[in-house]
Amino acid sequence: MGVFSKDYEKEAEELWEDVRNDLRPKDGFKHVLSISGASNTSKITGKTFHCTDVYDMMINTIIEKMQKYGYSIIDMKITDAYLAPVRTIIIYE
């Protein structure tokens, strides 16, 4: 990740604290969590396909922590409006 990896890790932990407070109780029902993130940078970078390391790390942190705390991830949906915030929908139980 480079020089800023510790900052991103700290930001991911802060995001987890926000998410954890919004999680529904484990009641056997399916629930939805929506996370908005960085915008699509393909126009800025000039690349059609690229890896979004920071956003991936943020989402992976959330999914890993949810599973660690006993939540089951049922599905994920990612919307990517051109140069608009990316929204990740996590369906969990």
pLDDT digits (tens, 9 = 90+) for 8-48: 888 889 999 999 999 999 999 999 999 887 655 544 455 55
What global pTM score does this model have?
A: 0.75
CA distances from 41 to 13, 15, 34, 59, 80 (A): 24, 21, 21, 17, 11
| Domain assignment of residue 57, given as a range | 5-92
- Average pLDDT of the chain is 81
pLDDT at 81: 59
Residue 55 confidence class, pLDDT cut points 50, 70, 90: confident
Q: What share of the chain is helix, strand, coil (3-state, %, to 5)?
A: 40, 25, 30
pLDDT at 42: 47
Total structural domains within the chain: 1
